Amino acid sequence: MKKSDVIEKILQHKLLQTPQRDQGQAFAPTNIALCKYWGKRDSELNLPVTSSLSIALPTKGALTSIIESHAKEDVVILNDKEVSPDSNFAKRLKNYLDLFRVKTLWRLQIDIKMNIPAAAGLASSACGFASLVSALNELFAWQLTKRELSLLARLGSGSAARSLWNGFVEWYAGTQADGMDSYAQPLAVEWPTLTIGILPISDAEKPVSSRVAMQRTVETSMLYANWPNKAAQDMKLLHQALQEKNFSLLGETAESNALNMHSTMLSSWPPVCYFLPETIAAMQQIWSLRRDGIEVYFTQDAGPNLKLLLHKKDKMIVKKYFPHADMINLF
Amino acid sequence: MKKSDVIEKILQHKLLQTPQRDQGQAFAPTNIALCKYWGKRDSELNLPVTSSLSIALPTKGALTSIIESHAKEDVVILNDKEVSPDSNFAKRLKNYLDLFRVKTLWRLQIDIKMNIPAAAGLASSACGFASLVSALNELFAWQLTKRELSLLARLGSGSAARSLWNGFVEWYAGTQADGMDSYAQPLAVEWPTLTIGILPISDAEKPVSSRVAMQRTVETSMLYANWPNKAAQDMKLLHQALQEKNFSLLGETAESNALNMHSTMLSSWPPVCYFLPETIAAMQQIWSLRRDGIEVYFTQDAGPNLKLLLHKKDKMIVKKYFPHADMINLF
């Protein structure tokens, strides 16, 4: 099945619409997965092998404003600078918008403001696509539900499905071939004492893109065979941790899940290693803090940087060991 | 089944013997596994989950000399220094010897000379137990075959089963409960252009012993479930590489096998991480050399140090990047 077929299913006659308002604008937060999205059951539709669970960073994300443009091509502006139409970034957006302009022709000026430093290793495509579909929904007055927006955002970037909400969000793997059951949904849990620390390690370019890393893992790592079972178990444990407000269980599960994901990469060929020497040094420091009774855990995505999970009360002490960490309150 | 039952099976009436000669002496090389021994199907008898394959370092190992002693306890001398009878090292040797003195009483003076620097991360228990059983065989005139000595050495330390020979050695997992089919055997392959480089990274004490790491992995890593399949595939590929003298296949398989083993550790809980920042830096250097066309691979055991696999012709160039590497010819 193709992306355009799914969009047709969701939008139907609305695909005939041209911009209905002067402007569409939306903010979407970036999100950090505590149980990772790792492996696709359908790479065209970004359908995941497993369900995943994330926490949004309410103050970090993308604010996207779109207006109709009368230029020949879409115009993309990122943080007040026009992006070359030949760049991968602009092409990816254009290709995505092409999916929506099959029956009517329009061009957009897309103005994206992101407050995510590249060095922080936060998923910019997640909040980027989530804010874009929300802005489209406004501009075209589609009046879609958030669930439908989640389905559309997923077609741009898998983890974007989770960036439509603040707080804890679950993205269902689903089982349908058309992916209509693979959307995200917020969890009714608040946890005001939870803090996330963004620990920048390096802003050097990734040796391998996360897309390539994911594909190579699924194709070449023999250990990946048991990843779906690991993820299923971790989803259960995370739900339990959220229900019980059990911070140790939350932290242990998130850290173990991340290390298992990186294990599937290291066991691929050629090996995919997102650990830098400084990443390992930071992990050792975290483990040492835990041995000293300070409960701090980490998670790591497809990059060298770590995200810390800690109690709000431990912010100052953890800052002493990680002065560059950007501490973010979640609720 | 107990160790003593297996020893009874192998030695039978010979267990009645007391020392027949003045001295027993034997050298055993240490060995580096290209397909690792990782996980036990029987922890009492050190029976492995999978078969493994190693290469011996002919010049690095243990020379053990034993004579009968008239002291009350065994006397252990390591590199010309008497070892305290309360040390773990002395206790482990004594417990092993106790298995053989069920029907007769004797005490030994055990003089071990090892030329393995602790910092090199080479398995000292492998060559230690292999040389000890060979020396016992001489002192007691047991006239055992090497296969039988391999069975006995395994009861001291699993990988010691492989340290009875030079060159490439395979240790069979076997299927019998008594482990009588789990011995090692040399492979009739010579490969004079193959070189091993020992790359010391750190001589700091291990955070977790390899015995504990192995047990924790089997008990807590969900990814371990597929390790036996990975090891079986690698055994096939290593045999093919040896037959074809295909260095790339040998190197890739050994490196991938080691990374898979470490992946099973990282995915355990609490995570077992033998990577130090310097280990990762060395790996990155190796991968960078390969991208530049210099064929060097690594393997890593339960410690931070790496062992390099390279063509003899590349020794000098690799030395330039790793000046501390100890380059060892194998044949």
User: How much is the pLDDT for A30?
Assistant: 96
Q: How many domains does chain B have?
A: 2
Q: What is the pLDDT of residues B136-173, one digit of tens each?
A: 999 999 999 999 999 999 999 999 999 999 999 999 99
Take residue A319 and report the two structure tokens written for it. Answer: 């800052």
Question: Of B278, B268, B38, which Cα lies nearest the Cα of A259?
Answer: B268
* Nearest CB partner across the interface for A252, out of B227, B259, B269: B269
Whether the CB of B273 is below 8 Å from some CB of chain A: the reply is yes
Read off the CATH number of the domain in which B113 is found: 3.30.230.10
pLDDT single digits (tens) B94-123: 999 999 998 888 999 999 999 987 666 778
Are A158 and A210 within one domain?
no
Helix/strand/coil for A217 = helix
Contact with chain B for residue A285, Cβ under 8 A: no
Residue B248, token pair as written in the block = 């790339």
A26 and A153, same domain (yes or no): yes
**Which of A162, A186, A210 corresponds to the end of one domain?**
A186
Q: How confident is the model at residue A4 (pLDDT cuts 50, 70, 90)?
A: very high
Query: B324: Cβ–Cβ under 8 A, 6 or more apart, which residues?
Result: B199, B200
Are A118 and A169 contained in the same domain? yes
Give CA–CA dist A157/A21, Å, rounded. 26
Per-residue pLDDT tens digits for B292-316: 999 999 999 999 999 999 999 999 9
Q: A233, B222: Cβ pair inside 8 Å?
A: yes
- Complete DSSP assignment for B160-186: GGGTTSSSEEEE-----TT-TT--EEE
Residue A169 CA to residue A29 CA, distance in Å, equals 12
* Contact between residue A124 and residue A62 where contact means Cβ atoms under 8 Å apart: yes
B234 and B142, same domain (yes or no): no
Contact A223 B252 (CB under 8 A): no
Measured CA to CA, the distance from residue A212 to residue A193 in angstroms comes to 36
The angle, 0 to 180 degrees and rounded to 10, between the axes of the packed helices B146-156 and B3-11 is 160
Same structural domain, B154 and B198: no
- Local confidence band at B207 (pLDDT 50, 70, 90 cut-offs): confident
Look at residues B186, B219, B245 and tell me which one is the last residue of a structural domain: B186
Q: Is A143 exposed, middle or buried (0-12, 13-18, 19+ CB in 10 A)?
A: exposed
pLDDT digits (tens, 9 = 90+) for B22-77: 999 999 999 999 999 999 999 999 999 999 999 999 999 999 999 999 999 999 99
Same-domain pairing of A77 and A202? no
Per-residue pLDDT, averaged over A39-62, amounts to: 97
CATH of the domain at B252: 3.30.70.890
Q: How confident is the prediction for chain B on average, in pLDDT?
A: 96
B227 chain-A contacts, CB cut-off 8 A: 223
Q: Which pLDDT score is estimated for B118?
A: 65
What is the pLDDT at residue A329?
Answer: 87
Substitution target in A266, A272, A283 with the highest count of B β-carbons within 10 Å is A266
Q: Is the pLDDT of residue A205 over 80?
A: no
What proportion of chain B, given as a percentage, has pLDDT over 90? 92
Do residues B187 and B170 make contact, with C-beta atoms less than 8 angstroms apart?
A: yes
Contact A279 B276 (CB under 8 A): no
Q: In a 10 Å sphere around its CB, with 0-12 CB exposed, 13-18 middle and 19+ buried, how is residue B324 labelled?
A: exposed
Residues B121 and B233 in one domain: no
Looking at chain A, which residue has its C-alpha nearest residue B272? A259
Domain boundary among B186, B204, B234: B186
* Nearest-by-CA chain A residue for B256: A267
Among candidate residues B22, B18, B34, the one with its CA nearest the CA of residue B238: B34
* A277: preceding bond cis by omega (within 30 degrees): no
Question: Binning pLDDT at 50, 70 and 90, where does residue A203 land?
Answer: confident
Q: CA-CA-CA-CA torsion for B295, B300, B306, B311, nearest 10 degrees?
A: -30
Question: Do B173 and B212 reside in the same domain of the chain?
Answer: no
Taking CB atoms and an 8 Å cutoff, what residues of chain B touch A266? 259-260, 262-263, 266
Residues of B in contact with A260 (CB under 8 A): 222-223, 266-267
Distance CA B161, CA B184 (A): 6
Name the pLDDT band for B84 (thresholds 50, 70, 90): very high
Whether residues A270 and A179 share a domain: the answer is no
Q: What share of chain B is helix, strand, coil (3-state, %, to 5)?
A: 40, 25, 35
- At residue B330, the 3 state secondary structure works out as coil
Q: Give SS3 for A296.
A: strand
Residues A129 and A111 in one domain: yes
> Taking residues A12-27, what's their average pLDDT?
94
Cα–Cα dist A132/A218, whole Å: 29
- pTM across the whole model: 0.95
Q: Which of A36, A259, A261, A298 to mutate to test the interface with B (most CBs of B within 10 A)?
A: A259
The residues, ordered by sequence, that sit 6+ positions from A85 with a Cβ below 8 Å of its Cβ are A73, A74, A76, A91, A94
**Average pLDDT score over residue span A268-297:** 98
User: Which residue segment(s) compose the domain that A65 sits in?
Assistant: 3-186
Q: Which helix (H) or strand (E) holds A263?
A: helix A247-266
Q: How confident is the model at residue A123 (pLDDT cuts 50, 70, 90)?
A: confident
- Which of A193, A179, A56, A196 is closest to A127 using CA atoms? A56
Euclidean distance between the first and the last CA atom of chain B, given in angstroms as a whole number: 39
DSSP letter for A224, please.
G
- Rounded to two decimals, the ipTM of the complex is 0.94
Mutate to test the interface with B, among A224, A249, A267 (most CBs of B within 10 A): A267
CB proximity B216 to A under 8 Å: no
The residue of chain B with its CA nearest to that of A260 is B267
Q: Min CA distance, B263 vs chain A (Å)? A: 4
Decide if B267 and A263 are in contact by the 8 Å CB cutoff: yes
Contact call for residues A26 and A147 (beta carbons, < 8 A)? no
Residues B253 and B222 both lie in one domain: yes
Contact A310, A268 (CB under 8 A): no
DSSP E strands, chain A:
24-35, 40-42, 47-48, 52-69, 75-78, 81-82, 107-114, 168-171, 184-186, 194-199, 296-300, 306-311, 326-329
Give the separation between CA B171 and CA B153, rounded to whole angstroms: 12
Reduced to 3 states, what is the DSSP secondary structure of residue A140? Answer: coil
A213 and A138 inside one domain: no
- Identify all chain A residues contacting B231, using CB atoms and an 8 Å cutoff: none
Partner-chain contact A280 B284, CB within 8 Å? no
